[in-house]
Chain A
Amino acid sequence: MAESHRNGRSAAGKGSINDRFHAELARRNTWLRRLTRNLTERTIVSLITLCGIAAILFVFSIFLFIFREGFPFFRQAFSVRGFFLSMEWHPTSEVNPRFGILALLCGTLSVTLVSMALAVPFGLGTAVFISEFSSRRVREALKIVIEFLAAIPSVVWGFVGLMVLNPIIIRLTGCPIGLNVLNAGIIVGLMSVPIIVSIAEDALRAVPDGYREAAAAMGATRWQAAYRVVLPAARSGLLAAVLLGVGRAVGETMATLMATGHSIHLPFNASFPFFHVLDSVRTLTATIAAELGEAPRLHPGPDGLYPPGALHYQSLFVIGMVLFAITSTINLVADFIVKGIRKRR
């Protein structure tokens, strides 16, 4: 290519003035074109880089913001015992403000447990069916319906819990109030199914067809192939799907606010059956949602200390940090697991 170009130019050099003019023009044109192409390319590349960096910037600035708002709490009121190990949440008390989040942590934990107990078998089962057993047509239809499930806003789910599940649970179990761990667990479980199905299905599809063919060649039935060959091969991807489902359940706010009963109460205790799914609880996320709107953001006094009224707002941001830590740990673990599969291949 470069060779021919040079030849062309030397040939032009021998021709008439007119020829030489045209050759020069052509040279400049390509030069100009190359320049503009370079420029557009560079602009697009830098724009895309900006988008990539923006995500990092957003995450960092959100983290910085949460930290800045919550930090004064550590100096003025924080103690591990009083914060993590106490269930007394009285942030606006006039006599004795207390900021214990144990009940809220247990609330989030209990709702997550029940929702995963429902969503993991259900979601993985759906994924196995879609990827291994269904015809193409059924698969497409199911995927659309499951994506539709993901499109329902969480406030609508919460409303279903409040209006539909609440009376059903009261009638079936005879408990005094149907807004409880079970109700929220069912709702949040249903909300986590789509994310589990779509990631688990990707993991199953990523198992090479050769595995299935080899299993079939050895006389395995479809179920044997799926259970003994495909599922173990996709193990890490399935685990990642479950973990992301857990992350979804921990972070869910509006639906848990409406369906849990929003009550500061430990669902775990020493009496049988130890975990009481018919008790009302309160989650970390719902507490932030219900209280942040009215918690005043006050400025520090001249001595650099904040007035007592400011602690409620700050403590809600510390809860935000706790949530941030929980969900980012889950996401990181899921990420490492997925990376693990890639490396092995």
Chain B
Amino acid sequence: MRREFTVTAVGLSCVALLLAGCGKGGNGAGGAPAAPRKAVIAACGSDTMVNLAQMWAEEYHKVCPDVSVEVSGGGSGVGIRDLATGIIDLADSSRDISASEREQAKQNTGKEPKEWRVAYDGIAVYVHKDNPLESLTTEQLAAIYGEGGTIERWSQLGVKLPNDDIIRISRQNNSGTYVYFREHVLGKKDFKLGSRDMSGSKDVVELVARTPGGIGYSGMGYKIADVKFVKIAAKAGELAVDPTIANVHDKLYSLARPLFMYTLGEPPAHVKSYLDWILSPAGQRIVEQAGYVPVVALP
């Protein structure tokens, strides 16, 4: 009799403890119902976005210590591939998901990727700080970079440099920035062979900084001391402008693109609250700090 009582008491207290645990979990995640107590969000993808994604992750951890976001780079293609196999929660991408990638994600996971526009990025054209070049039109850029293009020397652009050869610096052929540049500057045609193809946004700018005759394209957030922006005009005769936040926002700068995050279907609550925070003024202020352009006007 007494023994039975003990057993029942132990059992009851176990149940009580379990219930208490559950309650605590629910409160911890700020009212989100099904969120686990220590949630981890795995995000991976675009090399252009990796700094920004890291800053978001760090800031969000301060706001919401129960959720930690793990960010890695590798390129937009890698992020979308990993999302399509279902091993990450968020794919950072500096380009649209392609139809075949969307199909693959559906095949593998049964869910349709959902797109979230989180920021804008201007693709800046960089030259060495001692280069007198002021501005270029998109056609001139295409003639420098595109297959069959005729501009090979600085003198053709009216620029005098000790080394007349234009050293083209580009990206590896699957990066989101490369694909964007090919689509919007070269009109889907191919790049001229012989460019120096770097594997990261930062590498492009750093090589331009060390190469007096170099020209390169990369995210506008990667500017460093020894390089300068080239003003870009959409067409000859139009106004050439610098890639600044205001110019991108006012659609004056033509080489600007949206940056995306992708989830598989409707995201779970803890991922949804992260995305909501990113799109809130607090998250968008970080976009500006990282050198990109917010999707909403900030006060």
Contacts and interface: CB of A to CB of B under 8 A. Distances in A.
B175 A176 contact: no
Nearest to B179: A92
A59 interface: no
B207 to A, nearest CB: 8
Contacts of B195: 263-264
Contacts of A27: none
A294 interface: yes
A263 B100 contact: no
B37 interface: no
B40 to A, nearest CB: 23
A296 B102 CA distance: 13
B211 A177 contact: yes
Contacts of A257: 199
A261 B211 CA distance: 12
B74 A293 contact: yes
B196 A294 contact: no
A290 B77 contact: no
B173 interface: yes
Given A92-B173, A92-B174, A176-B211, A296 B101 contact: yes
Interface stretch (B16-24, B28-36, B118-126, B186-194): B186-194
A88 B213 CA distance: 25
Contacts of A178: 210
Given A294-B75, A298-B104, A263 B173 contact: no
Contacts of A92: 173-174, 179
Nearest to B98: A309
A166 interface: yes
Interface string B88-107: 00000000000011001000
B197 A177 contact: no
B134 interface: no
B167 interface: yes
A16 interface: no
Given A262-B196, A290-B197, A93 B210 contact: no
Given A177-B214, A294-B172, A263 B196 contact: yes
B261 interface: no
A175 B198 CA distance: 19
B198 A262 contact: yes
Contact of A95 (B78, B189, B197): B189
Contacts of A166: 210
Interface string B154-176: 00000000010101000011110
B212 interface: yes
Contact of B172 (A87, A280, A291, A307): A291
Contacts of B188: 94-95
A37 interface: no
A179 B207 CA distance: 10
Given A92-B174, A291-B173, A103 B100 contact: no
A263 B74 contact: no
Contact of A290 (B81, B104, B199, B210): B199
Interface in A155-202: 166-167, 174-179
A296 B81 contact: yes
A312 B100 CA distance: 15
A179 B214 CA distance: 12
A294 B167 contact: no
A88 B190 CA distance: 11
The A interface is mostly helix, strand or loop, or mixed, namely loop
A205 interface: no
A333 interface: no
B196 A261 contact: yes
A178 B173 CA distance: 23
Contact of A265 (B100, B194, B214): B194
A176 B165 contact: yes
A245 interface: no
Given A262-B197, A291-B173, A307-B100, A177 B167 contact: yes
Contacts of B174: 92, 291, 294-295, 312
Nearest to A260: B196
A91 interface: yes
Given A176-B212, A177-B167, A290 B172 contact: yes
A340 B196 CA distance: 45
Contacts of B75: 293-294
Nearest to A98: B190
A96 interface: yes
B76 to A, nearest CB: 8
A267 to B, nearest CB: 11
A78 interface: no
B213 A177 contact: yes
A9 interface: no
Contacts of B193: 87-89, 103, 264-265
Contacts of A295: 77, 174
Contacts of B194: 263-265, 280
A68 B195 CA distance: 32
Given A176-B213, A294-B175, A307-B100, A95 B190 contact: yes
Contacts of B172: 290-291, 294
A291 B199 CA distance: 9
Nearest 5 CB-CB pairings of A with B: A294-B174, A294-B77, A176-B163, A264-B193, A176-B213
30 contacts: A90-B191, A91-B173, A92-B173, A93-B190, A94-B182, A95-B189, A96-B190, A166-B210, A167-B210, A174-B163, A176-B163, A176-B212, A177-B196, A177-B211, A179-B196, A257-B199, A263-B195, A264-B197, A265-B193, A265-B194, A282-B197, A290-B172, A293-B74, A293-B75, A294-B174, A295-B77, A295-B174, A296-B101, A296-B104, A298-B100
Given A262-B196, A294-B78, A307-B100, 11 more contacts: A95-B188, A166-B210, A176-B211, A176-B212, A264-B195, A290-B197, A291-B172, A291-B173, A293-B78, A296-B77, A312-B174
